[in-house]
Amino acid sequence: MYCMHCGHELPAGAFFCPNCGSKIADGAPAAPTPAVEPVEPPKIDCGLSLAIAAVCLGGVLGIIALVYAVLAKDMYRSGNYEGARRTAKTGRIWSWVSIVLGAAGLVFALLLLPRIVELIAPGLLEM
C-alpha cells in the first residue's frame, strides 16, 4: 500500500504516512496521485513600450496610457490575467489616441509655423 499524497510505501496497518504525516483513509489501499503539471500563464502584452512612445509624442494623454500599462503589468504579476488583459487593452487605446492627437498637433503646428513667424516678425522669412 502507498500513500495517496506522497507515494511513499506504507507499512501494513498504518493510520498515518511516516513520510508526510497524511492520514490514511481506514486502511484502504491508496495510490500515489499523479503529478499535476503547472499551467503556464497566458502571454499578455501590457503595452508599456507603446505607452512610453505615447508619452513622448502625446504628453498628458500618454501619461494616462502609461498608468494603464503599469497597472496591467501589476495585475499580470498578481495572477489577475483577465483584469490585466482588459487594462492593457484600455491602455493601448489611450496610447493610440495620444499618439494620433500628438501627431496631428505637430503637423498643425508645422503648417502654421510660417504664418506665426510672419505675424510676429514680418519680412523674416523673405531672406
Assess whether 30 and 52 both reside in one domain. Answer: no
| Predicted TM-score of the model (pTM) | 0.60
Domain housing 23: 1-37
Rounded CA-CA distance 21/39 in Å is 28
Residues 71 and 25 in one domain: no
The reply to whether 33 and 52 lie within a common domain is no
Stretch 8-35: mean pLDDT:
70
User: Which residues touch 64 (CB under 8 Å, ≥6 apart)?
Assistant: 94, 98
What is the per-residue pLDDT across 70-108, written as a single tens digit (0 to 9) for each? 999 999 999 899 999 999 999 999 999 999 999 999 999
Residue type at position 68: Y
> Do residues 22 and 67 share a domain?
no
Q: Are 27 and 41 in contact (CB under 8 A)?
A: no
- Does residue 81 sit within a domain? yes
113, 65: one domain = yes
Has residue 42 been placed in a domain? Answer: no
Name the grid cell of 121.
516678425
In a domain, 26, yes or no: yes
The candidate with the shortest Cα–Cα distance to 94, out of 63, 55, 65, 52, is: 65
- 23-78 residue pLDDT tens: 776 655 545 556 667 778 888 888 999 999 999 988 888 999 999 999 999 999 99
